[in-house]
Each structure stands twice: as structure tokens, then as C-alpha cells.
Amino acid sequence: MSCRFLQLHLTRKTRAKKFLQDGKLVLSPFVRLSSSYGADKTSSNGSASSRKLNKRLKETAETVVIGGGCVGTSIAYHLAKAGMKDVVLLEKSELTAGSTWHAAGLTTYYNPGINAKNLHYYSIKLFEQLEEETGQQIGFHTPGSIRLLGTPERMDEARYQMQRQGWNKAPQWLISAEEVLEKFPLLNPNKILGGLYNPGEGHIDPYSLTQAYAIGARKYGADIYMPAPVTSLVPRSDGGWDVETEHGTIAAKRIVNAAGIWGQEVGRMVGIEHPLIPVHHQYVVTATIPEVAALKEEVPVIRDLEGSYYCRQERSGLLFGPYEKSHMMRLQEDWVTDGVPKGFGKELYESDLDRIQEHTEHAMEMIPVLAKADIQSVVSGPIIYSPDLLPLLGPFQGLRNYWAAVGFSYGIIHSGGAGKFLSDWILNGEPPYDLIEMDPNRYGKWTTQEYTAIKARESYGNNNLLGYPKEDRLGGRPTERTSGVYEKLRRRGAEYGFHSGWEQPHWFALEGDEAGYKPSYRRTNWHMPVGREYEMVMKTAGIMDLTPFAKYDIKGKDTVAFLDNLVANKLPKVGYGAVCHMLTPRGRVYAEITLTRIAEDHFFCITGSGSELHDLRWIEEHAVNGQYDVSITNCTDEMGALTIAGPSSRDILAQLTDEDVSHEAFPFMTMRQMSIAGVLCRAIRISYTGELGWEFYHKRGDTEKLYDGLISAGEPYGIGDFGVYAMNVMRIEKGFRMWGQEMLTDNNPIEAGLSMFIKMKKKSDFIGKDSIRRIKEEGVKRKLVLLKVDTDNIDPEGNETIRVGDKVVGNTTSGCFSYNLNQSVAYAYLPLDLTDLGTKVKVELLGNHYDGTVIKEPMLLTEPMREKIKRQAEAAN
């Protein structure tokens, strides 16, 4: 505490005024109010209604965007620019109020996720031309940025990210310590091994950016009203909304909640509890530092991952902002329960530099000139967090024409891409690309306020933690979503993963195994146990908890016509099931579902756990838009599900039921309602392992009884538990695609190898049929293939870059260690000229380029196919 920097922060603290104390709001001495909307126009504790509306309110609108931050104005700008008439934006006080105005304004191509990279890339490319388009200067600086790597583990993390970046658009390089110091000469050379460098990144003025969006929105015909706080949202019978304000009511076809820190309050107007919570985030701006002032050009933004802070040049000084550890950071939880204080807009919290002392010391060690810098200002303001740090972006299940654009903890860099993404979806009726990790429907009633607070604290505190494959964070778990055998499986060694609120076994640690989540970029403690589970299922039988699967009952007089239009496959007969795909109008794969026909007008629909409300929203939307007389019931939480698979599974099942379960009586893809171990089940002969197997759907309260019966009957056969990891290996070996990996809204079913499920000759003009016809006529340019990959102690998982020579030619979609081939395998998209069997490519993993070879798929025939060939051979003899 002897350094000048910390001494000054202590001196500063003694004279700082309280910004929020005892529930009363006091204007921060550091507030920067714009000249356009000065402090004389709105007092810090006055109501917006004290100001007159800037112009007469319209009575109707195609879209009403609620919120005038950078995200809301971007949405209005993109909708208007795309040609939508009657776009209205309502801002409760003034543009940028809330979180936008005080943001540090960082702009990055980098994102550890795959899909979010598209948002970042679009935003930066938009920023590059927005000033010329609108005439508004936006203060966009592009000195690049460097993620500092100070440990061998960080070097591995950077290599891991490089293998995922190569097939994406933005430039990213792994550079040496010497190159880092050339670009940022003020760093301590003893603390750096290398850097992950992204040219073109930098920072922008958030206020000016928002004004540019607003100018562009008005230029293309949008109307912006302020101060115009929304007081009520009333749904209309036609699916639209009456948007009520203090100045009148607008009849809107749709509404977009882009209200930032007020997003939760707007959600409550329509009966939704968005899982959002404000977080205190601080950054420090120094006065002039002579060494910075002497630099010939602006240095890159740096992110010191070990110190957990970012730092950029601010004129001739520096700006640095830390992410405190979970136990040190602060949430504003009372705003969740009581709402944002009345009159809050361009105010700040009181700074608390004690909370960031550890990070400050790290920063001074890494950037020694900070130790003798004067503090010019400290900004401590609210940013909004969702449980997983990602925004909620898209239409909301259960509410017609309500769209969410909230929860942006990185709103500045997301703003351009999010505006474009939402605009395209609204105008075209489908998302322009896959972004399911930001789907607002990834949360549900299981997402409590307590869970949100715990996860937000975990996400913020772990912001710069090493990011590993199959990362599993434990905060807030378990939720209310546990199956009837959760505790029993935990005692039997289940190592659980998190799936849309559910706990589902990934693998089982038995006696002698190293239990727990052991993160690694290479094979780790679960590699051998998963092989044991694989061998068990392939040779005898295994049992697995499938309760997290989403399940719907679809009934009604129009059910057949509705589903025939919704899916591309033929509908199954009563007592049979079919794998079906819901396509978008462009012919992309929106979802894969299994439909089982229980009666003429009653279908049982099953889909993945992560797609529960994503798929349900699509189904409901098309039922309403098509005016079909159907009822759709989500029975996910009421029904449990278990599966048994393996060559002994029929013998085990036969001991627990009076029904005939022979192949002749119970063939593949058929369903029987039957009693098994005294539990009434919908039993479907299907298995994602590709082996002989059944799935049993039953009342959730009966799961333990059914499980105990299956385990008891299977003990003589050597039955045991298996998890998601072993199932994934078996499905890849059998040639099964997975939604979100091989098929998604980035792909069409033809290139994904799903043609057998697309019935072009059926009479119904199913959604996407015309597009599929056109795709077939024009031909595809790439195709999904299976690769064997000659690795060592590492396996592909998906999203790795594939090259031929120095040219990037494709990417993997999923991968694993094949216990059948005893080597790594991966699915990949490659151009047609590289899809012939035996074609050689290079697959990048942790900086190495391993040989990949196109091989025949499937590696193993499914059990039904093997039995069919066997019966044909017997008949021929």
C-alpha cells in the first residue's frame, strides 16, 4: 500500500460522496452528462414525466423498441435500414442512460464461443463505416488487442482458441513475448510468455456510437420518442401489443424489450421473470502518464488474464478495469426485488477500490508506470448480467410477438451484430445463423432469483478463468430439476453435467477411478471409465437417465395437417415413431425431433434437453400462425425417462413385463404403452447408441421404481450405468447426427447427409420444401464427412480448423475417441472436391496439425441394420 497509486486512491476515497446510500440516489461527482441532454433537463432524482415529449406520439407501429441504449438504437437502425416502416423507439429518459453511457467501450473480434464471433465481427465492420454513413463521429480506435499469456496453461488455452478461430472470419495470431513487448513496450517482460493478438480490435465512444445508431435510425424513417417511459404492455387478441406510455398508447405489431438495466421490469409487465441482475463494475482512469504520452502510437488494449483486468490507453493516460473474484464482487440484488431506483439514469455507484486492490497490484506489476500514476476518475456503474453472462436475444416462448434483447454484459461490441441478427430474424421469419446459446428460452421456471445471483457472481468472478473443453461450473446446482434417481446415481458414481437446469450423468467414476471434474485440453480422468461404459453397452447392456429430454403431447383435430406441414418426413402410423426435422423457410435445420403416434390425432414429441423451449416456441408459433386446432402440452417436468441398450436389453426387459418384446412383436421404431416392473410406460424401441434398446417414458415419480427393476433384472447380465460421453461415442460411430453440431440453422439437411428424412414426394408443402428443391437443383458446395484423425493424447471435440497446405478448407462439428477404432474420429464439413474416401487433410489441435483421412460412414452398422442383413442372409440360404 506504499505506492503512490494506492495512496491516492485512499485519499480520494475519504472525500468521495455517496452515490447510493440508504435507498436515496445522489448524483456522482464523476457523471459525464452529454451536452445534448444536460443535467438541467433531468434532475438525478426527478421523474421523466417532468419533461415534455420531444414530438407527438404515433398511434400505431410495426415494431416498438423499448430502450435507447446502444442495443435498442441498433435494433431500430437495422430494422429501419432494412425497409421496415413504422419503427418506433421509446426511451424512458435520454439515450444511453443506464449502462451504455459509462461503459469502457471495448471492441473485440475475440470471443471464446463460436457463434458469438459472428456478432463481434459484424459489429466491428459496421463501426468502420458507421461514421461515414451517419455523419456522427464515434471515436473508434483500432490499435488491436492482446490477451497476455503468462503460464504454460494459458499458452495451451491460446492454442485451443487458435484451433477454433482459423475457420472463422476475424484475424487472430499467437505471438511471442518479444512481439508483445514491441506492441506494448510498457509491460513487464518477466511476466509474459506470449500473447493472443487480434488486429482491428480496440475501443469506441459508447455515447457517440449510440447517437450514430439513432441518427441512422431516423435517417431511414424510424421515430425516437423521449422521455417516454412505458407504463404498461397489454396483449391484444390479434397477437399485437398496446404499448402504454404517459403520453398515450401505441398499437404495435411486436415489441422488443431492449431496456437494459430496466429489462427485468419491462419483462414483468408481460408476466416474465427474466433472469437478470445488476453487477457493480469499476474501472479507473489515470491522469497523464509521461511514458504513455511519449508513445508514438496508441498501444493495443491488453487483457491480463492472470490479473483479471483489461487496460487500454485513454488519451495520454491509461484506463484499467478489473473483474473481482466471486467473493469480492458486488451485486445490486435489491434492484431485482424492488426495481431500479426512480430517477436513476446517468448516475453511478460509490467506488470501492478496496475490492479491486488485488487486481490493482497485479496491474502495477505488469505495467510498472501505473504505480506512479495519479487517478483522474473512478467509474463504478451497473452492468446487467444473466446467469451465464450471455444476453437473451430473440423471440420468447409463450408470448406472441414479444422479443427480448436484454442481459448484455458486453453491450457495446454486441450491439451492431445483435441489431442485425434480430432485424433479420424479425423480417425473414428465421434466425440468420445459429445463436442458440443466446436464446432467451434457454432458461425456464427453474431459474430462480437465487440461482441467477449465484451464477452471475460465479460468471463475473470467473471472467478470466482458464476456459476448458467440457467446462462444468457448479454454482447454483442442483436446481429443482433432478430426476427420481439423482441421489441414487450420485451414490453409484455419477459425474453430473448441467443440461437446461437438469443434472444428467456424463460418466460414472467407480471404485479405483479418479472422481470429479478434472479439466484438461487433453484426455483426462474420464477417458478410461467412458471406454468401460462403451464396452459394457456394446457387449451386454447399460442403463441411462434420459429424464432431461424435452417431451410434448400434441393433440387435436388438425394435428395431422399441422405436423405434416411442420416436418419434412412422413408422419408415422399409429404405434410407430419417426425421426423428423423442422426446417426453416430457407431450408435450414431448425430442429430434430422424434414423433411417435399414439393415436390418430395424438403424437408424442421428443427433443433434446437444450432445445426444450426453443423447439416448443417454433411449434407453437406455427400452430397459431396456421390457425390449426391443436393443443400442445409441455410434459417435460412431469415425465421421467430411462433407456436400456445393448445386446442383452431384450432379455432384461422380458423379465419385467408380460408383453411380447421379440423383434417380430416389437420391431424397431415402434411404441407400446405397457407395464414394466409395475410402472406404466410409453416404451419406444429406439436408442441413440445405435444398439438394441428401448426408451421408457413414465411419471417422474416412478423413475426410481423402474430403475431398480431394470437394475435388478439386469444384474445377471452385467448391466451397469452409462452416461452422455459414452452415448456420444456410440452415436458418432453409428453415423447419427446431433442437432447443434452437425445440423443447425447454419446447415441444410442435404449437405448434412439427412436426405433420407426429407420426403420431397409427400403431398404437404412442408416448411422449407421449395428451398430444399432449389438446393437440390443447384447442388451443395460442401458435405459432411467422417474423418479418422491420427492424434496422440488429445481428441477433437468439434469446431477445429481443417487445412490442406496453408489453406483453410473446413471445420469439424464433433469428435471423440472411437473405442472401436482405437483412435480419434471427427465429423467435418469439407468442400465437395475433398470428400472422396481416402482424402487427406490436416486437423489443428493445440497448435499441432494432425493427419485426417476421410473414411466410410458409418463406422459401425446400427443393430437394426445388422439384424436386417442377418435375416436377409438367412432367408437367402
For residues 639-676, one letter each, b for 16 or more C-beta atoms within 10 angstroms of the residue's C-beta and e for the rest, the string is bbbbbbbbbbbbebbebbbebebeeeebebbbbbebeb
Backbone φ and ψ for 731, nearest 5 degrees, come out as: -70, -35
Indicate the residue type of 545: D
Indicate the residue type of 29: P
CB 663 within 8 A of CB 738: no
Summarize the chain as % helix, strand, coil (round to 5): 30, 25, 40
The CB-side HSE value for 755 (13 A sphere, CA atoms) comes to 10
Integer CA distances (angstroms), 515 to 417, 526, 529, in order: 41, 8, 10
Location of C-alpha cell 453511478? 348
Report pLDDT for 30.
32
Indicate the residue type of 181: L
Cα gap 513→508, rounded to integer Å: 9
What SS3 state is found at 267?
helix
Length of the chain: 877
| Listed residue (640, 647, 620) closest to 538, CA to CA | 647
CB 383 within 8 A of CB 323: no
10-residue mean pLDDT profile of the chain (877 residues): values are 40 32 32 29 39 87 98 98 97 95 96 93 98 97 97 96 95 97 96 97 97 98 97 97 96 98 97 96 96 97 96 96 94 94 92 94 96 94 95 97 97 98 97 96 96 96 91 93 98 97 98 95 97 98 98 98 98 98 98 98 97 97 97 98 98 97 96 98 98 98 98 98 98 97 96 98 97 97 98 96 97 98 97 98 98 97 92 85
Report pLDDT for 33.
30
Q: Which three cell numbers stand for residue 539?
A: 457387449
| Listed residue (126, 61, 278) closest to 118, CA to CA | 126
Cα gap 171→160, rounded to integer Å: 15
Backbone φ and ψ for 671, nearest 5 degrees, come out as: -130, 140
The CB-side HSE value for 66 (13 A sphere, CA atoms) comes to 31
| Cβ neighbours of residue 438 closer than 8 Å, sequence gap 6 or more | 115, 116, 390, 391, 392, 393, 394
What SS3 state is found at 155?
helix
Cα gap 380→378, rounded to integer Å: 7
For the full predicted model, state whether its pTM sits above 0.85. Answer: yes
Report pLDDT for 304.
96
Report pLDDT for 877.
76
| Listed residue (99, 116, 438, 418) closest to 280, CA to CA | 99
Cα gap 779→687, rounded to integer Å: 32
For residues 381-409, one letter each, b for 16 or more C-beta atoms within 10 angstroms of the residue's C-beta and e for the rest, the string is bbbbbbbbbbbbbbbbbebbbbbbbbbbb
